[in-house]
Protein backbone atom coordinates (compact mmCIF):
# COMPACT_ATOMS: atom_id res chain seq x y z
CA UNK A 1 0.00 0.00 0.00
CA UNK A 2 1.39 3.39 -0.96
CA UNK A 3 1.31 6.01 1.78
CA UNK A 4 2.00 9.71 2.02
CA UNK A 5 2.30 9.47 5.79
CA UNK A 6 5.70 10.17 7.33
CA UNK A 7 4.86 10.61 11.02
CA UNK A 8 2.04 8.92 12.96
CA UNK A 9 1.19 9.73 16.57
CA UNK A 10 -0.98 7.45 18.71
CA UNK A 11 -2.69 8.03 22.06
CA UNK A 12 -2.82 4.44 23.32
CA UNK A 13 -5.98 4.69 25.42
CA UNK A 14 -8.32 2.11 26.90
CA UNK A 15 -5.76 -0.28 28.42
CA UNK A 16 -7.17 -0.27 31.97
CA UNK A 17 -10.78 -0.46 30.75
CA UNK A 18 -9.87 -3.39 28.50
CA UNK A 19 -8.35 -5.26 31.44
CA UNK A 20 -11.33 -4.51 33.71
CA UNK A 21 -13.84 -5.72 31.13
CA UNK A 22 -11.92 -8.98 30.79
CA UNK A 23 -11.47 -9.22 34.59
CA UNK A 24 -7.72 -9.28 34.18
CA UNK A 25 -5.01 -7.54 36.23
CA UNK A 26 -3.98 -4.16 34.83
CA UNK A 27 -0.47 -5.54 34.49
CA UNK A 28 -1.70 -7.96 31.82
CA UNK A 29 -3.36 -5.07 30.03
CA UNK A 30 -0.02 -3.27 29.82
CA UNK A 31 1.76 -6.45 28.71
CA UNK A 32 -0.76 -6.87 25.89
CA UNK A 33 -0.29 -3.17 25.10
CA UNK A 34 3.46 -3.66 24.69
CA UNK A 35 2.90 -6.56 22.30
CA UNK A 36 0.41 -4.57 20.26
CA UNK A 37 2.86 -1.66 20.08
CA UNK A 38 5.52 -3.98 18.68
CA UNK A 39 3.13 -5.24 15.98
CA UNK A 40 2.02 -1.73 15.04
CA UNK A 41 5.58 -0.38 14.95
CA UNK A 42 6.63 -3.35 12.81
CA UNK A 43 3.80 -2.74 10.34
CA UNK A 44 4.54 1.00 10.21
CA UNK A 45 8.20 0.19 9.58
CA UNK A 46 7.27 -2.21 6.77
CA UNK A 47 5.08 0.50 5.21
CA UNK A 48 8.02 2.90 5.09
CA UNK A 49 6.69 5.30 7.70
CA UNK A 50 9.61 7.25 9.11
CA UNK A 51 8.43 8.09 12.61
CA UNK A 52 5.91 6.80 15.17
CA UNK A 53 5.23 8.64 18.42
CA UNK A 54 3.10 6.96 21.09
CA UNK A 55 1.61 8.29 24.31
CA UNK A 56 2.34 5.52 26.83
CA UNK A 57 1.61 7.47 30.02
CA UNK A 58 0.82 11.07 30.88
CA UNK A 59 2.52 12.84 33.75
CA UNK A 60 -0.73 13.38 35.71
CA UNK A 61 -1.49 9.65 35.88
CA UNK A 62 2.13 8.87 36.74
CA UNK A 63 2.09 11.37 39.60
CA UNK A 64 -1.10 9.81 41.02
CA UNK A 65 0.25 6.25 41.10
CA UNK A 66 4.01 6.10 40.59
CA UNK A 67 4.34 2.70 42.25
CA UNK A 68 1.92 0.95 39.89
CA UNK A 69 3.17 2.63 36.74
CA UNK A 70 6.66 1.31 37.36
CA UNK A 71 5.13 -1.82 35.81
CA UNK A 72 5.55 -0.34 32.31
CA UNK A 73 9.36 0.06 32.30
CA UNK A 74 9.67 -3.17 34.28
CA UNK A 75 7.81 -4.98 31.50
CA UNK A 76 10.21 -3.50 28.95
CA UNK A 77 13.14 -4.68 31.06
CA UNK A 78 12.08 -8.32 31.25
CA UNK A 79 14.80 -10.30 29.44
CA UNK A 80 12.40 -11.76 26.87
CA UNK A 81 10.78 -8.40 26.12
CA UNK A 82 14.07 -6.50 26.10
CA UNK A 83 15.59 -9.05 23.74
CA UNK A 84 12.60 -8.66 21.41
CA UNK A 85 12.98 -4.88 21.46
CA UNK A 86 16.73 -5.08 20.84
CA UNK A 87 16.20 -7.33 17.80
CA UNK A 88 13.92 -4.85 16.06
CA UNK A 89 15.10 -2.33 13.51
CA UNK A 90 13.50 0.56 15.43
CA UNK A 91 15.42 3.54 16.76
CA UNK A 92 13.76 4.06 20.13
CA UNK A 93 13.71 7.33 22.01
CA UNK A 94 12.01 7.69 25.39
CA UNK A 95 10.44 11.12 25.93
CA UNK A 96 9.60 12.36 29.43
CA UNK A 97 12.35 10.86 31.61
CA UNK A 98 12.13 13.75 34.09
CA UNK A 99 11.47 12.96 37.77
CA UNK A 100 11.52 9.17 37.46
CA UNK A 101 13.58 6.74 39.56
CA UNK A 102 17.19 6.07 38.54
CA UNK A 103 16.36 2.40 37.98
CA UNK A 104 13.69 3.38 35.46
CA UNK A 105 16.01 5.87 33.78
CA UNK A 106 18.59 3.10 33.37
CA UNK A 107 16.01 0.79 31.75
CA UNK A 108 15.09 3.48 29.25
CA UNK A 109 18.72 4.43 28.58
CA UNK A 110 19.58 0.76 27.96
CA UNK A 111 16.73 0.52 25.44
CA UNK A 112 17.88 3.67 23.65
CA UNK A 113 21.49 2.49 23.55
CA UNK A 114 20.50 -0.96 22.27
CA UNK A 115 18.62 0.55 19.31
CA UNK A 116 20.50 3.78 18.54
CA UNK A 117 22.36 2.35 15.52
CA UNK A 118 19.28 0.82 13.92
CA UNK A 119 18.14 2.14 10.57
CA UNK A 120 14.37 1.55 10.69
CA UNK A 121 11.47 3.60 11.98
CA UNK A 122 12.06 6.15 14.73
CA UNK A 123 9.85 5.12 17.66
CA UNK A 124 9.23 7.82 20.28
CA UNK A 125 7.70 6.42 23.48
CA UNK A 126 6.27 9.22 25.64
CA UNK A 127 6.29 8.15 29.30
CA UNK A 128 5.47 10.51 32.19
CA UNK A 129 4.90 13.06 29.43
CA UNK A 130 3.01 16.30 29.06
CA UNK A 131 3.31 18.78 26.23
CA UNK A 132 3.45 21.62 28.74
CA UNK A 133 6.65 20.13 30.15
CA UNK A 134 8.06 19.59 26.65
CA UNK A 135 7.31 23.19 25.66
CA UNK A 136 8.73 24.56 28.91
CA UNK A 137 11.94 22.62 28.33
CA UNK A 138 12.19 23.89 24.76
CA UNK A 139 11.77 27.50 25.85
CA UNK A 140 14.49 27.09 28.50
CA UNK A 141 16.90 25.77 25.85
CA UNK A 142 16.11 28.53 23.32
CA UNK A 143 18.40 31.54 23.40
CA UNK A 144 16.55 33.59 20.77
CA UNK A 145 12.82 33.61 21.54
CA UNK A 146 12.00 36.17 18.87
CA UNK A 147 11.64 33.40 16.25
CA UNK A 148 9.10 30.73 17.17
CA UNK A 149 10.83 28.22 14.89
CA UNK A 150 13.76 28.29 17.32
CA UNK A 151 11.47 26.98 20.06
CA UNK A 152 10.07 24.25 17.80
CA UNK A 153 13.64 23.17 16.97
CA UNK A 154 14.27 22.56 20.68
CA UNK A 155 11.23 20.35 21.26
CA UNK A 156 11.90 16.69 22.05
CA UNK A 157 9.96 15.74 18.91
CA UNK A 158 10.40 18.20 16.05
CA UNK A 159 8.79 16.41 13.09
CA UNK A 160 5.23 17.51 12.20
CA UNK A 161 2.65 14.78 12.74
CA UNK A 162 0.59 13.77 9.70
CA UNK A 163 -2.10 11.81 11.53
CA UNK A 164 -2.98 11.44 15.20
CA UNK A 165 -4.79 8.24 16.17
CA UNK A 166 -6.61 7.96 19.50
CA UNK A 167 -7.99 4.62 20.64
CA UNK A 168 -10.46 4.00 23.46
CA UNK A 169 -13.41 6.11 22.33
CA UNK A 170 -12.49 9.49 23.85
CA UNK A 171 -12.41 12.59 21.63
CA UNK A 172 -9.71 14.80 23.05
CA UNK A 173 -5.99 15.53 22.62
CA UNK A 174 -4.92 15.17 26.26
CA UNK A 175 -1.86 17.47 26.18
CA UNK A 176 -0.04 15.35 23.57
CA UNK A 177 2.27 16.91 20.96
CA UNK A 178 0.07 19.99 20.68
CA UNK A 179 2.44 21.92 18.39
CA UNK A 180 3.50 18.92 16.34
CA UNK A 181 -0.14 18.09 15.43
CA UNK A 182 -1.02 21.61 14.28
CA UNK A 183 -1.83 20.40 10.74
CA UNK A 184 -2.53 16.72 11.45
CA UNK A 185 -5.62 14.71 10.61
CA UNK A 186 -7.29 13.28 13.73
CA UNK A 187 -8.54 9.68 13.66
CA UNK A 188 -10.62 8.48 16.61
CA UNK A 189 -11.59 4.86 17.15
CA UNK A 190 -13.69 3.22 19.85
CA UNK A 191 -11.37 0.21 19.94
CA UNK A 192 -9.28 -0.13 23.07
CA UNK A 193 -5.54 -0.13 22.46
CA UNK A 194 -5.01 -3.84 23.32
CA UNK A 195 -7.52 -4.70 20.55
CA UNK A 196 -5.95 -2.38 17.95
CA UNK A 197 -4.64 -4.27 14.91
CA UNK A 198 -2.44 -3.65 11.90
CA UNK A 199 -5.67 -3.57 9.88
CA UNK A 200 -6.86 -0.67 12.04
CA UNK A 201 -3.57 1.12 11.37
CA UNK A 202 -4.05 0.69 7.63
CA UNK A 203 -7.63 1.99 7.92
CA UNK A 204 -6.30 5.12 9.60
CA UNK A 205 -3.71 5.60 6.86
CA UNK A 206 -6.39 5.17 4.20
CA UNK A 207 -8.44 7.81 6.01
CA UNK A 208 -5.47 10.18 5.75
CA UNK A 209 -4.85 9.30 2.09
CA UNK A 210 -8.48 10.00 1.14
CA UNK A 211 -7.52 13.65 0.44
> Would you name the residues annotated as active-site residues?
13, 61
Closest-CA residue to 125 (of 86, 90, 166) = 90
Distance CA 180, CA 158 (A): 7
Looking at the DSSP assignment, which residues form a beta bridge with residue 55? 11, 126
Closest-CA residue to 195 (of 29, 4, 9, 27) = 29
DSSP string for 81-106: HHHHHHHSS-EEEEE--TT--HHHHH
Amino acid sequence: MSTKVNHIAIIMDGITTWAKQKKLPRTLGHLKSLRVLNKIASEANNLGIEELSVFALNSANYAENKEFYQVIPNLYARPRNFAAIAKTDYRIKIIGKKNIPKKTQKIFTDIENATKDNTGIKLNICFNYSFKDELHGAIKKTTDLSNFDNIIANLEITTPVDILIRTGGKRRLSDFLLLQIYDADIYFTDKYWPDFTTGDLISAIKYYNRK
